[in-house]
């Protein structure tokens, strides 16, 4: 029996690799599975006639088959060449690498035509969370996924507390204002200082990952040289280390100061920092995965029955679209802005595209439209 994971994997292949529209893809996944085509590998070994029976369109059937063969060829090439940054690696359970792999978000979708035609429905908090997570890929690229999710959630939490105060929903001081973060280091994300905890000794990359990172850096420098007209330029080998010792920043957790205050132990950080409550990466990921609806879901008065699996698959795809639009925006500015300036700009970009809500308390948690075209329009000209 096919699992939900098989369904999601096949749907991702159809929408991202084969470029099948989401609505059409969702209707065909089960038909493909019934035909014994439960993965891109199965499809690559099948016949175009079988796909024609499923899609009722010869051109689309060939498109799907060619995409499957392309993916299969790429996968085989990665295996043949040994360690690769993009190769999927089997990790032992509960190892840091396995934990980080379990926190992966949907692959960003960067097809501009699809992005420009996409309108999502959400409220402001998850949009801010998505902004912060993707921004950290550029401003703190050596942080593991668990840290990026935790730090991003810390930003959302701090922003929510400030907003609650401004609306009169919370008349008291925040835990930060009362000094509960005293003694803890800080990090800046989207212009806001948050309290963090260093995760000393947390090694989450495998040796292959580190090798792949060094090779990718060297390949990128060679590509830049070629684009600048120095096709024969020699690029020095990149030292096989992760970061320069002077700039290395260990993995971080975002400290949950409100939870710390509830513990009521001390206004200063305890001598054992591992005892501090943190913003949970798994919870932040789950929040992202459930928070982005398609516009048609809100517009349909009688939406009819939709399975939990297909509903989640649609939300996964929506998150992939949002992450892709954010990536295109951030990539356009990362070429000319340093990390500090990129961080400063991010808040204004968020404000430009966040959903419009009612003023005052009525707007708290309210949902509205987010047009991904607006994100694309914020990209650096040229």
Largest CA distance in the chain: 70
pLDDT of res. 112: 93
Report d(CA 88, CA 58) in Å as an integer.
32
Is the pTM of the predicted complex or chain greater than 0.85? no
Distance between CA 274 and CA 130 in Å, rounded? Answer: 26
pLDDT number for residue 220: 43
Rounded to an integer, the average pLDDT of 303-313 is 77
CA dihedral sign, ordered 331, 335, 340, 342: negative
pLDDT higher than 90, residue 18: no
CA distance 336 to 142: 20
Q: Tell me, what's the pLDDT at 28?
A: 86
pLDDT tens-place string over residues 162-201: 998 888 887 888 889 999 888 899 999 999 999 999 998 8
Q: What is the mean pLDDT of the chain?
A: 81
Res. 298: pLDDT tops 60:
no
| Size of the chain in residues | 382
Confidence of residue 125 (pLDDT cuts 50, 70, 90): very high
Q: Treating both helix axes as pointing N-terminal to C-terminal, what angle do 308-334 and 124-139 enclose, rounded to 10 degrees?
A: 50
CA–CA dist 41, 6 (Å, integer): 12
The whole-number pLDDT of residue 357 equals 92
Residues 277-293: tens digit of each pLDDT: 999 999 999 999 999 99
Most confident of 61-75, 220-234, 243-257, 365-379: 365-379
**Is the separation of the CB atoms in 292 and 319 below 8 Å?**
yes
Residues 332-374 have pLDDT tens digits of: 999 899 999 999 999 999 999 999 999 988 988 899 999 999 9
User: Would you state the structure tokens that stand for residue 231, as one six-digit string?
Assistant: 């096709």
Instruction: Give 232 or 51, the one with higher predicted confidence.
Output: 51
pLDDT of 264 > 70? The answer is yes
For tokens 């401003």, the residue is: 139
């Amino acid at each position: 029996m096919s699992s939900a994971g098989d369904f999601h994997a096949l749907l991702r292949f159809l929408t991202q690799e084969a470029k099948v529209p989401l609505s059409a893809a969702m209707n065909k996944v089960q038909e493909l599975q019934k035909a014994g085509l439960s993965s891109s590998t199965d499809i690559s070994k099948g016949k175009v006639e079988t796909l024609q029976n499923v899609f009722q369109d010869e051109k689309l059937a060939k498109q799907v088959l060619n995409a499957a063969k392309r993916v299969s060829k790429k996968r085989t090439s990665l295996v043949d060449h040994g360690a690769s940054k993009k190769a999927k690696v089997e990790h032992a359970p509960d190892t840091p690498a396995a934990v980080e792999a379990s926190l992966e978000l949907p692959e960003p979708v960067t097809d501009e035509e699809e992005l420009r035609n996409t309108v999502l429905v959400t409220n402001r908090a998850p949009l801010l969370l998505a902004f912060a997570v993707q921004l950290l890929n550029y401003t703190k690229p050596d942080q593991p996924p668990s840290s990026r999710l935790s730090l991003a959630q810390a930003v959302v939490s701090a922003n929510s507390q400030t907003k609650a105060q401004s609306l009169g929903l919370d008349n008291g001081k925040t835990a930060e204002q009362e000094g509960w973060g005293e003694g803890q280091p800080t990090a800046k994300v989207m212009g806001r200082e948050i309290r963090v905890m260093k995760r000393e000794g947390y090694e989450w990359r495998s040796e292959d990952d580190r090798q792949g990172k060094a090779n990718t850096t060297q390949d990128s420098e060679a590509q830049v040289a070629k684009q600048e007209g120095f096709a024969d330029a020699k690029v020095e080998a990149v030292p096989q280390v992760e970061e320069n010792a002077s700039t290395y920043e260990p993995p971080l957790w975002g400290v949950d100061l409100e939870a710390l205050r509830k513990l009521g132990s001390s206004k200063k950080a305890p001598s054992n920092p591992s005892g501090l409550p943190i913003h949970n990466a798994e919870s932040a990921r789950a929040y992202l995965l459930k928070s982005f609806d398609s516009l048609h879901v809100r517009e349909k008065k009688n939406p009819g029955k939709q399975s939990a699996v297909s509903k989640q698959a649609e939300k996964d795809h929506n998150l992939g679209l949002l992450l892709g639009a954010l990536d295109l925006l951030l990539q356009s500015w990362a070429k000319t802005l340093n990390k500090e300036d990129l961080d400063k700009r991010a808040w204004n970009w968020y404000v430009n595209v966040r959903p419009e809500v009612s003023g005052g308390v009525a707007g708290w948690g309210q949902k509205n439209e987010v047009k991904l075209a607006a994100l694309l329009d914020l990209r650096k000209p040229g």
